[in-house]
């Protein structure tokens, strides 16, 4: 067997080429694997019993020790920011927040507790499943419907008498603010 066949057969077991659409990534991985095999053949001359996988593990450990690269802890990891519940939540008075938070949003689809709207809204219970489609029910948002916008939502307010379907948090907040303004006057 020639030298190319030996290197191909040895690299087959430590295969790092993966399918990718980016040709330059595939080319870079190919060069890295060839360079690591060439380094392994030089290392093997002094350490006859070493395998390619052993060599790669030793190489990676020494590289990490020299560079000081460590794994990030959970504190350093920051996932993508979720949409904030309200743009000016800190500007509201505590009295208004407690009055709004007396209304609890009910999730029509999922059965899980999620603390969301001012950390007091809980989504409770699984509502009816449509027998024809087998899917959970969705309703049109009341405020979006008044503005001629078709928005299907899975949330409604169980505290209000009519149990209106509302988008969380935007329409939910607006609806209860207008409701409270009407009751004040």
Structure tokens at 83: 């949409």
The string of pLDDT tens digits covering residues 101-132 is 555 555 543 333 433 343 333 343 345 566 66
Q: How far apart are CA 175 and CA 99, in angstroms?
A: 13
Q: How far is CA 56 from the centre of its chain?
A: 33
Question: Cα separation of 75 and 82, whole Å?
Answer: 17
Q: What is the per-residue pLDDT for 118?
A: 35
169 cis-preceded (ω within 30 degrees of 0): yes
User: At which residue do the structure tokens 């029509």 appear?
Assistant: 108
Q: Is 144 helix (H, G, I), strand (E, B) or coil?
A: helix
pLDDT of residue 134: 65
From first to last of the 185 residues of the chain, give the pLDDT tens digit.
Answer: 566 667 777 676 666 666 666 888 888 888 888 888 888 889 888 877 888 888 888 888 888 888 876 665 555 555 554 444 444 444 444 444 455 555 555 554 333 343 334 333 334 334 556 666 666 677 888 888 888 988 888 777 777 777 788 887 778 878 888 877 777 66
The vertex-144 CA angle with 131 and 157, nearest 5°, equals 60
The bridge status of strand 155-157 relative to strand 152-153 is unpaired
Give the pLDDT of residue 101: 53
The position carrying tokens 């209860």 is 176
Residue-level pLDDT at 110: 37
Q: What integer pLDDT is reported at residue 102 of this predicted model?
A: 56
Q: Name the token pair of 87.
A: 């743009």
> In which element (H, E) is residue 105 found?
strand 105-107
């Amino acid at each position: 067997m020639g030298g190319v066949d030996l290197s191909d057969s040895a690299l087959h077991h430590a295969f790092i080429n993966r399918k990718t659409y980016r040709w330059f990534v595939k080319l870079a991985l190919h060069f890295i694997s060839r360079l690591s095999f060439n380094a392994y053949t030089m290392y093997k001359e002094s350490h006859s019993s070493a395998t390619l996988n052993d060599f790669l593990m030793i190489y990676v450990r020494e590289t990490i020790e020299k560079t000081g690269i460590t794994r990030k802890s959970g504190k350093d990891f920051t996932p993508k920011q979720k949409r904030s519940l309200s743009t000016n939540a800190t500007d509201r008075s505590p009295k208004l927040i407690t009055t709004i938070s007396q209304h609890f949003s009910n999730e029509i689809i999922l059965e899980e507790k999620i603390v969301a709207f001012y950390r007091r809204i809980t989504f409770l219970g699984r509502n009816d499943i449509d027998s024809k489609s087998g899917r959970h029910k969705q309703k049109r948002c009341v405020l979006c419907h008044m503005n001629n916008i078709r928005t299907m939502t899975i949330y409604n307010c169980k505290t209000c008498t009519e149990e209106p379907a509302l988008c969380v948090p935007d329409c939910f907040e607006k609806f209860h603010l207008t409701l409270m303004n009407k009751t004040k006057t």
